[in-house]
Chains A and B, each alone.
Chain A
Amino acid sequence: MSRFFTTGSDSESESSLSGEELVTKPVGGNYGKQPLLLSEDEEDTKRVVRSAKDKRFEELTNLIRTIRNAMKIRDVTKCLEEFELLGKAYGKAKSIVDKEGVPRFYIRILADLEDYLNELWEDKEGKKKMNKNNAKALSTLRQKIRKYNRDFESHITSYKQNPEQSADEDAEKNEEDSEGSSDEDEDEDGVSAATFLKKKSEAPSGESRKFLKKMDDEDEDSEDSEDDEDWDTGSTSSDSDSEEEEGKQTALASRFLKKAPTTDEDKKAAEKKREDKAKKKHDRKSKRLDEEEEEDNEGGEWERVRGGVPLVKEKPKMFAKGTEITHAVVIKKLNEILQARGKKGTDRAAQIELLQLLVQIAAENNLGEGVIVKIKFNIIASLYDYNPNLATYMKPEMWGKCLDCINELMDILFANPNIFVGENILEESENLHNADQPLRVRGCILTLVERMDEEFTKIMQNTDPHSQEYVEHLKDEAQVCAIIERVQRYLEEKGTTEEVCRIYLLRILHTYYKFDYKAHQRQLTPPEGSSKSEQDQAENEGEDSAVLMERLCKYIYAKDRTDRIRTCAILCHIYHHALHSRWYQARDLMLMSHLQDNIQHADPPVQILYNRTMVQLGICAFRQGLTKDAHNALLDIQSSGRAKELLGQGLLLRSLQERNQEQEKVERRRQVPFHLHINLELLECVYLVSAMLLEIPYMAAHESDARRRMISKQFHHQLRVGERQPLLGPPESMREHVVAASKAMKMGDWKTCHSFIINEKMNGKVWDLFPEADKVRTMLVRKIQEESLRTYLFTYSSVYDSISMETLSDMFELDLPTVHSIISKMIINEELMASLDQPTQTVVMHRTEPTAQQNLALQLAEKLGSLVENNERVFDHKQGTYGGYFRDQKDGYRKNEGYMRRGGYRQQQSQTAY
């Protein structure tokens, strides 16, 4: 059994039935037989009450047992290993040994082992048969034990003189820690059965008698704790937390408690040893019954709190019967419970249950709201504490409990406006029951709610987003929002501005990402007087989320003093604007806040929020048809190729090797829950389409320019990927569609381009995700037409002498004024060397575009110019003249160079044209 203790007693599996434990018990692997089944309470008794001494000694005896087994099978290697462990364990037990004296069983094993080894050593035959490892281990062990035993010389000699007594003790020890295995030991042990029997009969003699005497003294207390243990079992817990509370005063006793009952049993066992096991078991049962009766009798002294549940054993006892339940008592109890909090080995589940009971008691006894509030606070706190690990999330039932609890707490707080709750109220100045004065309770509702929000996020993060479970969890969001709203209302009345800011931020964080369909609907259909149905009215009662956001954010802007909350609020506000297509507000807010300049100093979660906002802004700009803005907003996120990571929507696989476990955990905690995600494909599509609309005309215009810059590297990358394909099938993915469309646009073929960008597949993948999909689509078509026209003019202007605008308007299905304006713009921007002939509505090309050769020659001339310049500088050095004559001349030269460029030609040409 003790093996289980050493492994730590936190896990629940160990709190299961004793039967299970016994199955898992044979660690050494040599226990073929199923040991005797122990009755439950016996085991619990042993488990719960253990002094340090017992623990250490048990450890030792365990090791000793393994050694004996190893000795039996002549496994010297094992012996050596165990012996070393034993030495260590002994070292640990040193302090106890100093107090108690060297335990005889320890001496015994040392002596036995030495004898055994000597025996083996003498046995030349056997040694030969031994395998190499064993032989080696044998010599090492022999040397070691010799050296070791020198320290115990006197003990060993005394043991050898009087082995009986020591054997006795050893057996006793064995009995103590494992009733079951002692049976086996008895069969297998090197000590003969006869001696064993003898020592059994002698058991109550010697030291054990001492215990008996002690037991009498401590009888009362031990009963007490036995009682405790009992209910502990009832509440399916294995830990000794309650023991620690209740047992505080009985600490002294508990040291012996383990001994006390067991010695008792020893006695019984010794008497019944000759009977067979079945009978023994039966006897145990009867004994147990006795004990129960006894307990029942004794239980009379205690008040049992049943809490409406008929099962007696299920519920722990809180207060002694007849104790008058007063504030003081309840609070004392509460403190008792709370003291166990955070301690190792405390059963958190039991603690929660205890607290809940306490609330019931308090409620039953009408102790007033103050106490209840106080306890509730603590319940919620211990609910949060339930998971020791920051990464794990709450179980659904705990979560539900937590929500209920907070709701109840809020109910009380709303119902009793005279209760003051605050972090800053000291424990001493709390007023929990004095009804005359306002009640004051320590605790912060805001922290609880914030924590709850965190827990909610954690739950969402840890649920598979594509499962039904996620939907179920998501339903709680409404509840969370409701709670936040209530707390907000509460704090608006009572809280400080800082608290209000914090709760507002929480509210904002739960609002900003939701698209307000109702408000959207209302916008679309202007109110039609009184013909509204009642349902509509009910729907409209809720505040528009825009108004709400405006109100909350403005308050934070005005009142907040911590930078972080304001930053978050601004970002959320922008996000919300952008989500609802209020581009100009969103953009202005972004520019006014100057967040772009200093966001890199913010902490990662805020940066993620910033990234999300920028992306949303870009998408918003795109919906408005502002491709350039969209492109710029998305550039940072998309160009890195880590959009997923930057938006906190998943970890990149490739960087898995680069980060260690700890970092990964931190990053995992930063992830945004799935329902807040921004569709990455949509994002990329928006980016690529914007890039296409910008890049293709630009490429066409600067076909032969050597110093051409790329607008979007990623777009070019996609194009190149498309070109590398050996076989070009019809496009499948979103990227392929965009690439194919780009190619069509390059040729000025807007219809093909259109069909690639807007079709069934792309609708399903991307466009339908927009709230106003049709509007976006029409915008997109028009953009494609315009940009195709521009591209067409850039690419083919060298082929035309003149072209009628009507033809262009037919080709691109744009109306004449639009065509006119586009061409005019191009002419003004010096992109197109042409002039408009008004009467005939034609574009007359000037044919000033240099040919490829001319272009090259021009570039060469430019380069040679710079070469000459550099050369002259070298010459300057040689001559030792700085500046002066050459420098001036050079500038002149450079100025003159200008005439080679297009500008000069154009001016001359345009003068002649008009």
Chain B
Amino acid sequence: MASRKEGTGSTATSSSSTAGAAGKGKGKGGSGDSAVKQVQIDGLVVLKIIKHYQEEGQGTEVVQGVLLGLVVEDRLEITNCFPFPQHTEDDADFDEVQYQMEMMRSLRHVNIDHLHVGWYQSTYYGSFVTRALLDSQFSYQHAIEESVVLIYDPIKTAQGSLSLKAYRLTPKLMEVCKEKDFSPEALKKANITFEYMFEEVPIVIKNSHLINVLMWELEKKSAVADKHELLSLASSNHLGKNLQLLMDRVDEMSQDIVKYNTYMRNTSKQQQQKHQQRRQQENMQRQSRGEPPLPEEDLSKLFKPPQPPARMDSLLIAGQINTYCQNIKEFTAQNLGKLFMAQALQEYNN
């Protein structure tokens, strides 16, 4: 089905990603003037990513790799990629950086673009908004400003529509990450919410004309293309999984909130209670005796304020919940359409 995509839309993006990219891309475009406005992916890269997952990833395991390409004006062109080798327990001393360098050197020898422009990762039901992803994308973007992360969803792809999305951290989030201060105040000051953590960059898949010609020819030769996955009505499993994951995140969110709640309570207790009152009383007495009042500012020195919980996690969870909701929304919308179609078909047959 991936091939079908590339065949039909050599310049157009896949149906699902256009919708997301169009909506989001505009929204984010205004929010920050990032270096990259568009990502152009070579068909080869898409195929390599899909192949990589097919061969090595299964279940909840994710596969990762490096994207290579070049920057042309405000467009990032990804022309090649290579996978990270899968980690096993017994080669713990494997040097990844060494491997990457070696790989890139080798690729340069065969005259391939060797600019490191980002990385890709597969995902399980869209659960990719994690701390790990944030950290590594931050380090990428810190080193190479244009780099993006490509998220490939194999499950959705298997259902009939290629799901490949490019994300970047917003400049705001970059600043927060640079500061490494995730306290509630800092986040508040940075005015960052889960909606403004990642920005999606529109994707264009581009193939050479020769390949397009080949695709056309192949399409003509092949018998009926098996396109019916797109129309499959059996979808409860997918929805259930999504719900389950969503629920887990909601649980985490709840816990996080409880944590935050206790923190709030503790702080307010400390600020308001006893000590201040006592000090006030003392001052009153002193005043009545005609002595100068004691200073009030040594409060924070006396009591250490409780450690504020890092809010980044809850931000990430919120972002993840958002992604799930988007997924479910998208999915149910499509399914409703399918159901109506099926109903119409039924009536027509009768």
Kindly provide the distance from the CB of B125 to the nearest chain A CB, expressed in whole angstroms.
Answer: 14
Contact with A along B212-247 (1 / 0, CB 8 A): 000000000000000000000000100110011011
Cβ–Cβ contact A860 & B258, under 8 A:
no
Contact A871-B257, Cβ < 8 Å, known A863-B250, A863-B251, A877-B265? yes
Q: State which residues 847-878 of A face B: CB under 8 Å.
A: 851-853, 856-857, 859-860, 863-864, 866-867, 870-871, 873-874, 877
How distant is the Cα of A860 from the Cα of B248 in the complex, in angstroms? 9
With a CB–CB cut-off of 8 A, which chain A residues contact B257? 867, 870-871, 873-874
Cβ–Cβ contact B244 & A874, under 8 A:
no
Closest to B256 in A: A870
Cβ–Cβ contact B254 & A870, under 8 A:
yes
Contact A860-B240, Cβ < 8 Å, known A866-B254, A870-B258, A874-B261? no
B47 at the interface (CB under 8 A from A): no
With beta carbons under 8 angstroms apart, the residue of A851, A852, A860 that contacts B250 is A860
Cβ–Cβ contact A856 & B240, under 8 A:
yes
Cβ–Cβ contact B243 & A860, under 8 A:
yes
Closest to B253 in A: A867
With a CB–CB cut-off of 8 A, which chain B residues contact A863? 247, 250-251, 254
Kindly provide the distance from the CB of A809 to the nearest chain B CB, expressed in whole angstroms.
Answer: 35
Closest to B247 in A: A860
With a CB–CB cut-off of 8 A, which chain B residues contact A852? 236, 240
With a CB–CB cut-off of 8 A, which chain A residues contact B124? none
Contact A877-B264, Cβ < 8 Å, known A852-B236, A867-B250? yes
With a CB–CB cut-off of 8 A, which chain A residues contact B246? 860
B54 at the interface (CB under 8 A from A): no
Of the listed residues A859, A863, A864, the one surrounded by the most CB atoms of chain B closer than 10 A to its CB is A863
How distant is the Cα of A852 from the Cα of B235 in the complex, in angstroms? 13
Give the size category of A's interface with B. 10 to 19
B194 at the interface (CB under 8 A from A): no
Kindly provide the distance from the CB of B33 to the nearest chain A CB, expressed in whole angstroms.
Answer: 33
Contact with A along B256-279 (1 / 0, CB 8 A): 011011001100100000000000
Cβ–Cβ contact A853 & B243, under 8 A:
yes
How distant is the Cα of A874 from the Cα of B257 in the complex, in angstroms? 8
Q: What number of A-B contacts does a CB cutoff of 8 Å give?
A: 42
With a CB–CB cut-off of 8 A, which chain A residues contact B265? 877
With a CB–CB cut-off of 8 A, which chain A residues contact B247? 856, 859-860, 863
Cβ–Cβ contact B250 & A864, under 8 A:
yes
With a CB–CB cut-off of 8 A, which chain B residues contact A871? 257
How distant is the Cα of A859 from the Cα of B246 in the complex, in angstroms? 11
B interface, over-half SS: helix
With beta carbons under 8 angstroms apart, the residue of B239, B250, B261 that contacts A873 is B261
Cβ–Cβ contact A877 & B243, under 8 A:
no
How distant is the Cα of A853 from the Cα of B264 in the complex, in angstroms? 37
Closest to B243 in A: A856
With a CB–CB cut-off of 8 A, which chain B residues contact A860? 243, 246-247, 250
Kindly provide the distance from the CB of A850 to the nearest chain B CB, expressed in whole angstroms.
Answer: 13
How distant is the Cα of A864 from the Cα of B265 in the complex, in angstroms? 22
Contact with B along A312-343 (1 / 0, CB 8 A): 00000000000000000000000000000000
How distant is the Cα of A877 from the Cα of B250 in the complex, in angstroms? 21
Closest to B250 in A: A863
Cβ–Cβ contact A874 & B243, under 8 A:
no
Kindly provide the distance from the CB of A862 to the nearest chain B CB, expressed in whole angstroms.
Answer: 9
Kindly provide the distance from the CB of B154 to the nearest chain A CB, expressed in whole angstroms.
Answer: 23
Kindly provide the distance from the CB of B323 to the nearest chain A CB, expressed in whole angstroms.
Answer: 16
With beta carbons under 8 angstroms apart, the residue of A853, A864, A867, A873 that contacts B236 is A853
Q: State which residues 817-874 of A face B: CB under 8 Å.
A: 851-853, 856-857, 859-860, 863-864, 866-867, 870-871, 873-874
Contact with B along A860-898 (1 / 0, CB 8 A): 100110110011011001000000000000000000000
How distant is the Cα of A867 from the Cα of B261 in the complex, in angstroms? 12
Kindly provide the distance from the CB of A347 to the nearest chain B CB, expressed in whole angstroms.
Answer: 67
Closest to B242 in A: A856
How distant is the Cα of A874 from the Cα of B240 in the complex, in angstroms? 31
Q: State which residues 339-383 of A face B: CB under 8 Å.
A: none
Closest to B251 in A: A863
How distant is the Cα of A853 from the Cα of B331 in the complex, in angstroms? 14
Closest to A867 in B: B254
With a CB–CB cut-off of 8 A, which chain B residues contact A851? 236
With a CB–CB cut-off of 8 A, which chain B residues contact A870? 254, 257-258, 261
With a CB–CB cut-off of 8 A, which chain B residues contact A866? 254
With a CB–CB cut-off of 8 A, which chain A residues contact B258? 870
Kindly provide the distance from the CB of B327 to the nearest chain A CB, expressed in whole angstroms.
Answer: 14
How distant is the Cα of A863 from the Cα of B258 in the complex, in angstroms? 13
Kindly provide the distance from the CB of B269 to the nearest chain A CB, expressed in whole angstroms.
Answer: 11
With a CB–CB cut-off of 8 A, which chain A residues contact B254? 863, 866-867, 870
Cβ–Cβ contact A857 & B243, under 8 A:
yes
Cβ–Cβ contact A877 & B261, under 8 A:
yes
With a CB–CB cut-off of 8 A, which chain B residues contact A853? 236, 239-240, 243
How distant is the Cα of A867 from the Cα of B317 in the complex, in angstroms? 13
Q: State which residues 100-155 of B face A: CB under 8 Å.
A: none
With a CB–CB cut-off of 8 A, which chain A residues contact B264? 874, 877
With a CB–CB cut-off of 8 A, which chain A residues contact B253? 867
Of the listed residues B240, B254, B261, the one surrounded by the most CB atoms of chain A closer than 10 A to its CB is B254
Closest to A852 in B: B240
Kindly provide the distance from the CB of A870 to the nearest chain B CB, expressed in whole angstroms.
Answer: 4
With a CB–CB cut-off of 8 A, which chain A residues contact B239? 853
Kindly provide the distance from the CB of B270 to the nearest chain A CB, expressed in whole angstroms.
Answer: 13
With a CB–CB cut-off of 8 A, which chain B residues contact A867? 250, 253-254, 257
With a CB–CB cut-off of 8 A, which chain B residues contact A873? 257, 261
Closest to B260 in A: A874
How distant is the Cα of A859 from the Cα of B247 in the complex, in angstroms? 8
Kindly provide the distance from the CB of B32 to the nearest chain A CB, expressed in whole angstroms.
Answer: 28
Kindly provide the distance from the CB of A135 to the nearest chain B CB, expressed in whole angstroms.
Answer: 51
How distant is the Cα of A515 from the Cα of B264 in the complex, in angstroms? 66
Closest to A878 in B: B264
How distant is the Cα of A863 from the Cα of B253 in the complex, in angstroms? 10
Closest to A851 in B: B236
How distant is the Cα of A857 from the Cα of B268 in the complex, in angstroms? 37
With a CB–CB cut-off of 8 A, which chain A residues contact B261? 870, 873-874, 877
With a CB–CB cut-off of 8 A, which chain B residues contact A877? 261, 264-265, 268
Closest to B244 in A: A856
- 5 pairs, A vs B, C-beta closer than 8 Å: A851-B236, A852-B236, A860-B246, A860-B247, A870-B258
Other than A853-B236, A870-B254, A870-B258, give 16 A-B pairs with Cβ distance below 8 A.
Answer: A851-B236, A853-B239, A856-B240, A857-B243, A860-B246, A860-B247, A860-B250, A863-B247, A863-B250, A867-B254, A867-B257, A874-B260, A874-B261, A877-B264, A877-B265, A877-B268
The 4 closest A-B pairs by CB, nearest first: A870-B257, A856-B243, A877-B264, A863-B250
